[in-house]
């Protein structure tokens, strides 16, 4: 008898984290698992899960097909009402309230394909959550569990009576029985948890699994001014120079000032490298800009060295960069650990298009720093509220806006929009502009600016929502602290809670992927 090829009998089952390319399949799975019973996921909600907390989203595949999935976020549950709803604990399904420093993992969805039940798919997903809680040293896993068989008994008993009967094994409930068998205990019943869950009559059991290996790092969570971030915004003087070394000297001076003040960020203005054109002989604006791109490597090397030497993260204003024959307006983030990121300007002004032929970027990004997540929106980009909403949903707490405007009207557009973005997104914003003049450089002859640092508008912040601002049209800096802990609390307990109160059932802002 020949050797049996056992491979033909193999069936591959795999538990892994969900990827963006899985979203369509998960949406199809949900339609199968909950046909007409509950409002389905929206694509943008699942995308938000993967952007904000990818390690908390799991799926099980069988022979390459997704047959089960679950979603979760981290919270500090002490900050929530026990009688919360699903919408409240998940920020309407977008999990933008995910707290990386939370003590609890909160499960918000588990589903298993009906044809693959009795294969321990749900148990695998629950075990993945438990392993994640143990890895992150979380106190417990909490979830709001459906009671889908209650509608069969609702005429004969109250929800409390039904839950008691299930606990005593007198009634079988596919969800509650499963959760009890997996070590969860009932904390309470919540009414109107999922209004569209008709099978459960909108009720849910608040369940908890305790991590016995949890090691408290503190006896209590202290709320304090624990995450101050110091920003130096530089109102940069555009004046004639003779060489790149002159430019480097001026830039280093301001970096030194920011470092002496103990700043976490030094913010330079948009187009500050056009100062280099003051010693270039080319007068044609379009040709001069291409000449300017030749300084790109020197510019990057200069700011990278300054960020490391002076131990400060630098928003390097913006610089024109040539890529495949196109010219882009690019803002670089030079981190003090020596790493670099960049944001392309998305919206090009009529002047940039007319004089320089600038090409727009295609993607707005959020960057990780040692002071949390930040975004950079260059000048005109801050005047489009959709971009700020996108980066806020991706976790940004500060938006930096390098700008360059030639008159007061242009400056006020940047200023007012920056303050509006701070209010409507409950974030901090900072703007840095150029002053002075370059009389011999076409389209950069005059400048107007009043740089500043802005906050939301509520009692926890400065009265006018202004941390600090420069005097207009002089060479100077403004230094100020913004506190991420105060911002976090404000989003939960402020006089108004704009992010939480958005009507995501009526509208949403989604960034499209132009590469597809």
42 phi/psi in degrees, rounded to 5: -100, 150
Question: Among the options 345, 352, 469, 470, which is catalytic?
Answer: 345
Separation CA 500–CA 25 (nearest Å): 29
270 is a catalytic site residue: yes
Closest Cα partner for 236 from 419, 377, 481, 404?
404
Question: Among the options 47, 109, 139, 270, which is catalytic?
Answer: 270
Chain centroid offset of residue 12 CA? 35
Radius of gyration of the chain (CA): 27
379 is a catalytic site residue: yes
Q: Is the dihedral of CA 130, 132, 136, 138 positive or negative?
A: negative
Question: Among the options 70, 379, 417, 470, which is catalytic?
Answer: 379
DSSP state for residue 448 in the 8-state scheme: B
Separation CA 138–CA 105 (nearest Å): 7
Separation CA 148–CA 151 (nearest Å): 7
Separation CA 189–CA 159 (nearest Å): 8
User: Hey, how many other C-beta atoms are within 10 angstroms of the C-beta on 171?
Assistant: 20
3-state secondary structure string, 89-119? HHCCCCCCCCCCCCCEEEEEEEEECHHHCCC
Strand partners, 334: 314, 340
404 is a catalytic site residue: no
Inter-helix orientation angle 408-425/385-393, to 10°? 30
Closest Cα partner for 237 from 269, 283, 201?
269
State the catalytic residues.
270, 345, 379
């Amino acid at each position: 008898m020949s050797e049996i090829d056992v491979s033909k009998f193999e069936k591959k089952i795999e538990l892994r984290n969900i990827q963006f390319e899985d979203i369509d399949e998960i949406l199809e799975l949900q339609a199968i698992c909950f046909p007409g019973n509950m409002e389905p996921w929206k694509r943008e909600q699942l995308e938000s899960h993967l952007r904000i907390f990818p390690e908390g989203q799991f799926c099980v595949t069988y022979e390459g097909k997704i047959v089960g999935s679950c979603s979760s976020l981290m919270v500090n549950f002490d900050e929530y009402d026990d009688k919360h709803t699903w919408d409240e604990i998940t920020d309407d399904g977008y999990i933008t309230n995910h707290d990386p420093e939370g003590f609890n993992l909160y499960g918000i969805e588990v589903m298993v394909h009906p044809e693959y039940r009795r294969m321990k798919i749900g148990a695998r997903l629950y075990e993945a959550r438990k392993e994640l809680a143990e890895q992150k040293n979380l106190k417990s896993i909490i979830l709001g569990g459906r009671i889908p068989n209650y509608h069969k008994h609702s005429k004969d008993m109250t929800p409390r009576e039904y839950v008691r009967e299930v606990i005593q094994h007198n009634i079988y409930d596919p969800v509650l029985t499963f959760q009890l068998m997996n070590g969860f205990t009932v904390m309470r019943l919540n009414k109107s948890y999922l209004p569209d869950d008709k099978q459960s009559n909108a009720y849910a059991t608040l369940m908890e699994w305790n991590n016995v290996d949890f090691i408290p790092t503190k006896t209590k969570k202290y709320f304090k001014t624990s995450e101050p971030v110091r920003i130096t915004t530089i109102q940069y003087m555009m004046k004639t120079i003779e060489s790149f070394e002159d430019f480097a000297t001026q830039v280093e001076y301001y970096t030194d000032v920011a470092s002496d003040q103990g700043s976490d960020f030094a913010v330079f203005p948009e187009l500050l490298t056009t100062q280099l054109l003051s010693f270039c002989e080319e007068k044609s604006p379009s040709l001069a800009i291409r000449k300017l791109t030749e300084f790109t490597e020197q510019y990057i090397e200069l700011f990278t060295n300054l960020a490391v030497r002076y131990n400060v993260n630098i928003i390097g204003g913006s610089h024109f960069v040539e890529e495949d024959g196109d010219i882009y307006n690019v803002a670089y983030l030079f981190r003090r650990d020596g790493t670099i990121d960049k944001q392309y300007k998305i919206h090009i002004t009529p002047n940039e298009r007319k004089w320089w032929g600038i090409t727009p970027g295609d993607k707005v990004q959020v960057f990780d720093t040692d002071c949390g997540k930040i975004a950079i929106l260059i000048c005109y980009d801050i005047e489009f509220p959709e971009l700020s909403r996108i980066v806020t949903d991706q976790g940004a707490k500060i938006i930096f806006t390098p700008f360059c405007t030639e008159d007061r009207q242009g400056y006020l557009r940047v200023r007012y929009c920056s303050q509006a973005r701070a209010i409507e997104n409950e974030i901090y914003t900072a703007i840095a502009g150029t002053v002075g003049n370059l009389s011999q450089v076409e389209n950069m002859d005059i400048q107007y600016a009043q740089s500043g640092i802005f906050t939301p508008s509520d009692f926890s912040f400065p009265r006018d929502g202004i941390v600090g601002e420069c005097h207009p049209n002089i060479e100077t800096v403004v230094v100020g602290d913004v506190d991420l802990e105060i911002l976090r609390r404000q989003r939960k307990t402020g006089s108004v809670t704009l992010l939480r109160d958005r009507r995501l059932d009526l509208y949403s802002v989604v960034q499209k992927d132009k590469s597809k």
